Structure 1
Amino acid sequence: MVTSSRSKGGLMIVARPNQSQSWRSNIYILLALCVPCLGAAIGFSLLGAWPILPFAGLEMLALGSALYYCHWKLQYRQVITLSDDSVRIDKGHYYPRQSWQFKRQRAGLTIVPRNHPWESPDLALHDRSETVRIGEFLNREDALELLALLRRELRVDSHGVAGGRQF
């Protein structure tokens, strides 16, 4: 999903993976599965088959961990801030873990088109010394929306490799 907002300071574009469910709905799904599973496990343990109970608990713990991990992966963000004199790229979960800053005059956009019409193009922002891939997790429609936003703001330097370097 791509969102953008324009202010006096410039344009801020936020790209993030599509998320079908919120954390709250994941909790409801986990509870809906835990109640019958642990209820049956408690019933069997009262009948003497107590080894079922720890395995049912571990199964629900594994499911909860998998749901949390998937939700955490979907909190990844790429924030591209375009001001009058610079281009800043921040990447991370919940807060920026990696940041790059390029001078606006030297920054360019590289587009690598794909062979199949369903695949999204690879996008990268670069200057003379460094290349940063952006939007690699986006679906085709979102990648094309990001491309349209960036084309209005930056020059397209190449279609293919960035300055002789494959990214």
Structure 2
Amino acid sequence: MVSSSRSDASLVIIAKPNHSSSWRNNKLALLAVSVPSMGAAIGFTALGAWPILPFAGAELFALAAALYYVNWKLEYRHVITLDEQTVSIDKGHYAPKRRWRFARDQVALAITPEKHPWEGPGVTVHGKEETVIVGEFLNRDDCLSLVALLREELLVRTHGPIRRIKI
């Protein structure tokens, strides 16, 4: 999902993965699964089949851990801020973990064509010394909207496969 907001002097673009469900809905789904599972496990424990209870608990713990991990991965985002002097890119889950800052006149956009029609193009912002890949988790439509937003603001200096030269 790509969203943008423009103020007088800057443009903020937020790119994040699509969510199929919120954390609240995941907790409700976990509750819906755990009530009958634990009910059956407690029932079998009352009948003397106590080894079922730890397995039911382990199963629910594994499901909760998987739901939490997927939700955590879907909170990842790229925040690209373009103002008159600088371009900054922040990457992180709930807060920025990595930050890049480029001078506006020294930054360019590199677009790598997609390998398959379902994929989106690769988008890279590069300055004199560093290169930052943005939006690698986006689907094709979202990636194309990110490219359209960035093309309005930045020069496209490379449109094709990026080749690494080893010396």
Q: Same fold (TM over 0.5)?
A: yes
Question: What residue is the counterpart of 1:156 in the other structure?
Answer: 156
Question: What residue is the counterpart of 2:7 in the other structure?
Answer: 7
Query: Percent of aligned positions with the same letter in both sequences?
Result: 58
8 Å contact from structure 2 (residues 112, 160) kept in 1: yes
> Residue 165 of structure 1: CA displacement?
3.5
Question: What residue is the counterpart of 2:102 in the other structure?
Answer: 102
Structure 1: which 5+ runs fail to align? none
Q: For 2:28 and 2:34, how far apart are their aligned partners in 1?
A: 10
> Residue 158 of structure 1: CA displacement?
0.4
> Residue 8 of structure 1: CA displacement?
1.9
1:128 and 2:128 matched: yes
**Which secondary structure state, in structure 2, belongs to the residue aligned with residue 105 of structure 1?**
helix
TM-score normalised by length of structure 1: 0.96
8 Å contact from structure 2 (residues 113, 161) kept in 1: no
Question: What residue is the counterpart of 2:73 in the other structure?
Answer: 73
Number of residue-to-residue matches in the alignment = 165
> Residue 9 of structure 1: CA displacement?
2.8
Aligned Cα RMSD in Å?
1.1
TM-score normalised by length of structure 2: 0.96
> Residue 161 of structure 1: CA displacement?
4.5
Question: What residue is the counterpart of 2:40 in the other structure?
Answer: 40
Structure 2: which 5+ runs fail to align? none
1:17-52 superposed Cα distances (whole Å, 9 cap, x missing partner): 000111111011001100010000000000000010
**Which secondary structure state, in structure 2, belongs to the residue aligned with residue 80 of structure 1?**
strand
Dislocated runs of 4+, deviation >2 Å:
none
Q: Mean alpha-carbon deviation: is it higher for 112-121 or for 129-138?
A: 112-121
